[in-house]
Structure 1
Amino acid sequence: MGEFTGRIAIDRPATEVFAFLSDPTAMPRYLQTVRKVEQQGPGRIAMEGEAQGHSYRDEGWIQVDPEGRRMRWGSDRLKDYGGSLEVTEAGSGAEVSLQLSIVPEPAVAERMEREAGAVDHAIRIAMERTLGAIKAACEGREDAPRSADDLPDSRPFGSSATLNPDI
């Protein structure tokens, strides 16, 4: 547990992809548990959503570097959670690289082990689905996910969507 990375190629210009991803209000379009995001001032956001049948509200920070097309974020409540992403040009499109640092709370880790066999596996599946949802939303596909049940496994998008680029 701890550090997870993934990436996916997107058939849209890098500047357009970053503009979409750096808008916190777009998060519900690609994060399966998020229903609403509000900006609370410079570098501050609040999220509301539902996970495992329980509603939640969390506040945190976000740093956006438009020139470098990079973002970093973290939670006020979950001290062992944070992430970053970078959008780079790749051929005629873009590549999104996602990095996540997380140590799930014990009850959440237990559920993940029960449902996916291992915490690491559960997090990797969630990351792949998030990357697939980002791709679908950025490419404007009609089948962009609307709920957690609609989130695709990103493997149909090729090896660039896997968390292990050697697979």
Structure 2
Amino acid sequence: MGEFTGRIRIDRPAAEVFAFLSDPTAMPRYLETVQRVEQQGPGRIAMEGESHGHAYRDEGWIQVEAEARRMRWGSDSLKDYGGEMVVTEAEGGAEVSIRLSIVPEPKVAERMERESGAVDHAMRIAMERTLGAIKAACEGGGDPAPDGSRGGDNLPDSRPFGSSATLNPDI
């Protein structure tokens, strides 16, 4: 199983950052392929989106530990997938740390190697984009658009922020 980690500093109070990130319906604002998330009961979510021209729907679990400012998640259909996000206090703001465990399906791994040279490199790019999108969403202000889309409050494109993320150099 591949383990990928990253972190980024956010110029907002840690409590605000965690409140935003621990709301599953906000995920479309910072996860590039996610278009819609709905809660299906305590600790259960369903996600819909599109990735590389293919629509998907997945269900999974989510565990929010508000006191520790930690969130864990996993997928019902992808047994080798799970993650953890922790928000901590940082001078003048917050730091978001993400750990992702995933083994891409063979077709996906093949595409990642073709497009990025290696699965690890593709995952690093994806982690940088996600962290940058989190930073943009948290620092951009405003609430998500009523339809859950990213474009509701003119947030900047997350891709330029990729270089500001501090990633584990071992990946």
For normalisation by structure 1, the TM-score amounts to 0.90
**Runs of 4+ residues over 2 Å off in structure 1:** 141-145, 153-157
**Is 1:44 equivalent to 2:48 in the alignment?**
no
CA distance in 2, matches of 1:151, 1:71: 22
Q: How does 1:7-22 map to 2 (within 5 A)?
A: 7-22=7-22
Corresponding residue for 1:154? Answer: 161
CA distance in 2, matches of 1:140, 1:153: 14
Q: Which runs of 5+ in 2 are unaligned?
A: 142-152
CA distance in 2, matches of 1:46, 1:164: 30
Q: How does 1:61-100 map to 2 (within 5 A)?
A: 61-100=61-100
Q: Give me the identity figure in percent.
A: 79
CA distance in 1, matches of 2:105, 2:17: 32
For normalisation by structure 2, the TM-score amounts to 0.88
The answer to whether the 8 A contact 1:136-1:143 is kept is no
Corresponding residue for 1:144? Answer: 155
CA-CA distance at 1:156 after TM superposition? 4.5
CA-CA distance at 1:154 after TM superposition? 2.9
**Is 1:163 equivalent to 2:171 in the alignment?**
no
Partner of 1:72: helix, strand, or coil? strand
Corresponding residue for 1:25? Answer: 25
Q: Which runs of 5+ in 1 are unaligned?
A: none
Q: Which amino acid aligns with 1:154?
A: F
Partner of 2:36: helix, strand, or coil? strand
The answer to whether the 8 A contact 1:62-1:72 is kept is yes
The answer to whether the 8 A contact 2:17-2:87 is kept is yes
Q: Which amino acid aligns with 1:55?
A: A
CA distance in 1, matches of 2:6, 2:45: 24
Q: Which amino acid aligns with 1:152?
A: R
CA-CA distance at 1:162 after TM superposition? 2.4
The answer to whether the 8 A contact 1:155-1:162 is kept is no
